């Protein structure tokens, strides 16, 4: 595998909108300062979360259901806005980001879901090309980029297949290819191995690691204890809307409740 787009990422992530209350380091790509998010019903989903992630890091976000992981991802995608606190991603101040600027912001993010979310009526090539169409990539370039990224995820021979003709692992690879084809600065993976068997889970995690080694910042939300413990990456553990631990080369902390 050969993923080389570190330079592109660096150029893209030049800070665009530098207004924020607390100064942040040039190397920081994600900054959350005292972020809380309360829904109209129930306890706050996030409560005073502060998190700093540097360019090129690989971070696991772990925690049980209801710990606030999904809310965190939604905030990073600017699907939600915080009730309190500030969020800055790739230089964008998400609290002040206007609705019409959201698409441009999201084009620098790659996102992978547990349920793959592929377009069922389109083949592998079209699913990946879809992401390029959205950013209006010239057709000539698209015809180079899509096969190249499909080769990267090991699906070069299956570009004509429809999602239902693929295994879960292969579908997740297509989702990964789609997330990566626009060369994002950050890859958010929400339970990427949740629907996969152990073998496919490991293959996907290896791919994520290689993507990270090529320069992309990778955030993986997961329940998979084995993988977290084996990969020895930074682990942020959440519980009831707060960060309870943040360790370099950490492991999965068992819930003592």
Binding site for other proteins (CB under 8 A): 77, 100, 103-107, 109, 111, 117, 119, 121, 130-131, 133-136, 138-139, 178, 182
Beta carbon of residue 117, minimum distance to other proteins (angstroms, whole number): 5
Q: How far is the CB of 34 from other proteins (least distance, A)?
A: 27
**Gap between the terminal Cα atoms of the chain:** 43
In the complex with other proteins, the residue whose CB is nearer, 60 or 105, is 105
Nearer to other proteins, 49 or 111 (CB): 111
Look up residue 79 and give its DSSP letter: S
Closest CA to 87 of 138, 33, 135: 33
Question: Whole-number minimum distance, CB 80 to other proteins, in Å?
Answer: 13
- E-state strands within the chain: 28-37, 46-54, 58-62, 84-89, 92-93, 109-113, 186-190, 217-222, 234-239, 242-247
Least gap, CB of 79 to other proteins (angstroms) = 8
Burial (CB count within 10 angstroms: exposed 0-12, middle 13-18, buried 19+), residue 39: exposed
Q: What minimum distance in Å lies between the beta carbon of 13 and other proteins? A: 15
Which C-beta is closer to other proteins: that of 131 or that of 227? 131
* CB environment 214-244: b (16+ within 10 A), e (fewer): bbbbbbbbbbbeebbeebebbbbbbbbbbbe
State the minimum distance, in angstroms, from the CB of residue 254 to other proteins.
Answer: 32
User: Closer to other proteins at the Cβ: 124 or 227?
Assistant: 124
Which element (helix H / strand E) includes 139? helix 139-152
The residue (of 121 and 247) whose beta carbon lies closer to other proteins is: 121
Whether the Cβ atoms of residue 205 and residue 30 lie closer than 8 Å to each other? no
- Residue closer to other proteins, measured from CB, 153 or 228: 153
């Amino acid at each position: 595998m050969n993923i080389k787009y570190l330079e592109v990422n660096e150029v893209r992530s030049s800070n665009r909108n530098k207004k924020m209350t607390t100064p942040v380091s040039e190397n920081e790509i994600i900054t959350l300062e005292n972020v809380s998010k309360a829904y109209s019903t129930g306890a706050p989903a996030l409560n005073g979360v502060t998190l700093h992630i540097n360019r090129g890091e690989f971070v696991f976000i772990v925690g049980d259901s209801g710990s606030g992981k999904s809310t965190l991802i939604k905030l990073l995608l600017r699907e939600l806005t915080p009730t309190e606190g500030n969020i800055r991603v790739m230089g964008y101040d998400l609290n002040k980001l206007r609705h019409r600027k959201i698409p441009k912001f999201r084009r620098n993010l790659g996102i992978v879901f547990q349920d793959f979310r592929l377009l069922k009526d389109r083949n592998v090539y079209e699913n990946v090309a879809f992401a390029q169409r959205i950013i209006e990539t010239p057709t000539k370039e698209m015809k180079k980029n899509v096969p190249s990224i499909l080769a990267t995820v090991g699906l070069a021979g299956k570009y004509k297949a429809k999602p239902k003709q693929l295994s879960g692992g292969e579908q997740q690879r297509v989702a990964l290819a789609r997330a990566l084809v626009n060369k994002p600065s950050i890859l958010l993976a929400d339970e990427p191995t949740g629907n996969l068997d152990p073998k496919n889970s490991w293959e996907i995690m290896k791919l994520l690691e290689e993507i990270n080694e090529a320069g992309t910042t990778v955030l993986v939300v997961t329940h998979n204890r084995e993988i977290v413990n084996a990969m020895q990456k930074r682990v942020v553990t959440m519980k009831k809307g707060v960060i309870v631990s943040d360790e370099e080369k950490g492991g999965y902390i068992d819930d003592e409740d």
